[in-house]
Structure formats: structure tokens, C-alpha cells
């Protein structure tokens, strides 16, 4: 069995282990963005994309891991579900402390019941928040609407704004 140290593969494995189901590419993108916004740097830079924050580097890493046979894709449903080829590979994190690994598990568990769309909205809110000078509710909502158009209602955005507390991102009055 070959031992692989890679944080993206590690997160794929932890999501599968904790949620009991393989993550899709969109969920992986959003969960790594969330983990990094909780202060655990995994090495991926993000930019704005159609589905919210997106890392081209993460996407390339997943493609390389797939080409090497480490990550296997299941294309049977609506999403590209990823699993680890555990018959041949043992996955370990790359330079993460025990405390960071425990925190990653807590974060993954915290967002277990969220759909890809809910994670998209949350990460877009975080992205908008981080790029605004004025971090008021109205400005954040306006920023999300500018990015997403009418995909999410004002009520959906307001409800999801409550998650900013989890990231220690206060909303100004």
C-alpha cells in the first residue's frame, strides 16, 4: 500500500468517513474554503467563479490525484462524487497538527447536513464579507446579490448570514 500525503485527498477521505457519503467536487471546493476560513491553511488560493469561491489549484490537484489513481470518480449521478482508492493508497494529511486534524473533523461535522447550494451561498457570503470595506448586513446582502443575481432570495441570504459568527466575522451596525 502506498502512503500519500495530500490535504485535498485527506479532506475527501474525512468527508466520506464523517458523512458516510462521497463528496462532489463542489462540496470539496466549498468545504476546503470553509476550513481555510476557520484558520487552517491548506494551501489553496480562491477567486470568484460562477458557483462562488473557486480554487483552480485545488481542481488541478484533484485531476492529478485522479490521473494517478488515488481519487476515483463516480459519475453516475448529477455530481462528480469522489472517493479514495483505499485498496492501494493510504491517505495522510500534509503538515497538519493533531489539533488541526481534530478541528477539521469538527468543521466537517458542523456542515454535514448542508447541501451544495447552501455551501455555495455561505462561501459567497464569506467571500463578499472579506472583500467589503463596510461589513453591514445591507452591504453584504448587496454584495452577494451582485455576485449571484437572483439565485438566492434576500431571506435566504439573511438566514445564512447568521453563520458568519461561526467564522468570527462580526456584522457592523
CATH number, residue 84: 1.10.10
Same domain, 77 and 143: no
Per-residue pLDDT reduced to its tens digit, 7-59:
999 999 999 999 999 999 999 999 999 999 999 999 999 998 878 899 999 99
Selection from 30, 34, 18 nearest residue 166 by Cα = 34
pLDDT value of position 134 = 96
Q: φ, ψ for residue 28 (rounded to 5)? A: -60, -45
Average pLDDT over residues 106-132: 97
pLDDT value of position 173 = 86
pLDDT band with cut points at 50, 70 and 90 for residue 129: very high
Per-residue pLDDT reduced to its tens digit, 131-169:
999 999 999 999 999 999 999 999 999 999 999 999 999
Of 112, 128, 158, which closes a domain? 112
Supply the range of the domain harboring residue 145: 114-173
Residue 62 is placed in which grid cell? 484533484
pLDDT value of position 21 = 94
Same domain, 91 and 123: no
Domain count for the chain: 2
Query: What pTM was computed for the model?
Result: 0.95
Average pLDDT over residues 79-86: 92
Amino acid at each position: 500500500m502506498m502512503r500519500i500525503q495530500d490535504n485535498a485527498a485527506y479532506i475527501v477521505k474525512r468527508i466520506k468517513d464523517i458523512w458516510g457519503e462521497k463528496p462532489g467536487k463542489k462540496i470539496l471546493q466549498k468545504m476546503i474554503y470553509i476550513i481555510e476560513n476557520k484558520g487552517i491553511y491548506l494551501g489553496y488560493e480562491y477567486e470568484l467563479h460562477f458557483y462562488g469561491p473557486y480554487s483552480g489549484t485545488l481542481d488541478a490537484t484533484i485531476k492529478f490525484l485522479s490521473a494517478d489513481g488515488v481519487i476515483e470518480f463516480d459519475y453516475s449521478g448529477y455530481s462528480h462524487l469522489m472517493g479514495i482508492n483505499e485498496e492501494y493508497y493510504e491517505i495522510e494529511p500534509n503538515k497538519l497538527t493533531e489539533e488541526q486534524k481534530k478541528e477539521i473533523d469538527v468543521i466537517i461535522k458542523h456542515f454535514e447536513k448542508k447541501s451544495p447550494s447552501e455551501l455555495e451561498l455561505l462561501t459567497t457570503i464569506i467571500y463578499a464579507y472579506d472583500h467589503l470595506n463596510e461589513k453591514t448586513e445591507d452591504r453584504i446582502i448587496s454584495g452577494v446579490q451582485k455576485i449571484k443575481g437572483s439565485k438566492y432570495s434576500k431571506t435566504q441570504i439573511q438566514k445564512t448570514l447568521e453563520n458568519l459568527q461561526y467564522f468570527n466575522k462580526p456584522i457592523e451596525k
